[in-house]
Amino acid sequence: MIITFLGTACMQPTKDRNHPGILLSYKAENILMDCGEGIQRQLRIAGIKASKITKLLISHWHGDHILGIPGLMQTMGASEYSGKLEIFGPVGSKLYLENMFKSFSSTGTIDYSVKEITKPGKFFECEDFLLEAAELEHGIPTLGFSFVEKDRRKIKLVVTKKLGIPEGPLLGELQRGNDIVWKGDKVKADDTTSVIKGRKVTYISDSLPCNGALNLAKYSDLLISEASFASSLKDKAEEYKHMTAREAALMANRSESKKLVLTHFSQRYKETSEIEEDAKDVFADVVCARDFMKINL
């Protein structure tokens, strides 16, 4: 699993920071969380083909989080994208997207679907993982997202070889957690496999501290949270319905997350040492994201 930060700025980009965008790559999936202006260029710089994107998660419809969508989809079309882009977002996303494409003459369109998330909880599931959402507090409908990898079983080869179980369907059944019968005896999956706990990545977009964010973040291996301001500008953070770095760190602490990555920084911060120090007062394992930073989880 690789997480690539394509944009880490707030409302106004800087020469070093693009508008928001985070790509989570897992097996054949490339899930883009938010799509700020210029994301297609950021992908090119990062050496990632736009045609690889399989899903787009939209946290909310403020311009800095969505203005890259038309250009990205046109680039995907020009790259002969053969899949169907699955788009998930808050209520109103279908109409917003329709109006966006009505505003100009588009070429190279791709096949896509839009699902509006109407309630907190699971909104997508497949064999390997599920996606969850929670409502945040930002003045307009806003969502946070979690990628939750399912637990998987690893065969204890020493045990299965000792029993003489050959490679093939029987090992597959054990790996799926099903007991089998071998040479007339029952073989339990719990005795022949070990459980590998699935990983969890949570993305908290623009929001004040709220229960939705805290509940979604619980037990995350990697918690990615906005931190537009340091605590010295707490009043401004509250005015614009954003979190301070310290508030994001408190959320990480209370949610028992393992690692915190801060992003979505106000353009007033030329460098992020003040923000990082603000967070480290209450949570040790924290880092400030930068454009093109990658995390292997």
Tens of pLDDT, residue by residue over 46-94, are 999 999 999 999 999 999 999 999 999 999 999 889 899 999 999 999 9
207, 142 in Cβ contact below 8 A? Answer: yes
**pLDDT at position 102, please?**
87
What confidence tens digit (pLDDT) does each residue in 150-190 have?
999 999 999 999 999 999 999 999 998 999 999 999 999 99
Q: What percent of the chain has pLDDT over 90?
A: 95
> Predicted confidence band at 293 (pLDDT cuts at 50, 70, 90)?
very high
What's the pLDDT score for residue 80? 83
Handedness of CA 142, 134, 216, 251 (dihedral sign): positive
Find all residues with CB under 8 Å of 153, minimum gap 6, and list them.
174, 175, 176, 177, 189, 193, 194, 195, 196
Q: Report residue 286 as tokens.
A: 């924290």
Helix (H, G, I), strand (E, B) or coil at 268: coil
Rounded to an integer, the average pLDDT of 89-115 is 89
pLDDT beyond 90 at 105: no
- Which listed residue (34, 64, 206, 278) is catalytic? 64
- What average pLDDT does range 105-130 have in this prediction? 91
Amino acid 141 reads P
Q: What is the pLDDT of residue 101?
A: 87
pLDDT at 135 over 80: yes
Pairwise CA distance, residues 13 & 26, whole Å:
28
Measure the N-to-C terminal CA separation of the chain; round to a whole number of Å.
Answer: 5
Amino acid at 65: H
**pTM listed for this prediction:** 0.93
Is the pLDDT at 108 greater than 90? The verdict is: no
Q: Which of 166-170, 226-230, 284-288 is predicted least confidently?
A: 166-170
Q: Structural domains in the chain?
A: 2-151+197-296 (3.60.15.10), 153-194 (no CATH)
Q: What is the pLDDT of residue 104?
A: 82
Mean pLDDT across 83-112: 90
Q: Assign 107 a pLDDT band (cuts: 50, 70, 90).
A: low
- CB of 250 within 8 A of CB of 280? no
Residue showing tokens 């969502």? 143
Cα 186 to Cα 33: distance, rounded to the nearest angstrom: 46
Active site residue 151: no
Burial class (CB in 10 A: 0-12, 13-18, 19+), 152: middle
Confidence of residue 109 (pLDDT cuts 50, 70, 90): confident
Mean pLDDT, to the nearest integer, of 127-135?
97
Q: How far apart are CA 236 and CA 267, in angstroms?
A: 13
Residue 6's H or E segment, with its range, is: strand 2-7
Angle at 152 between CA 203 and CA 219, to 5 degrees: 35
pLDDT, the chain, mean? 96
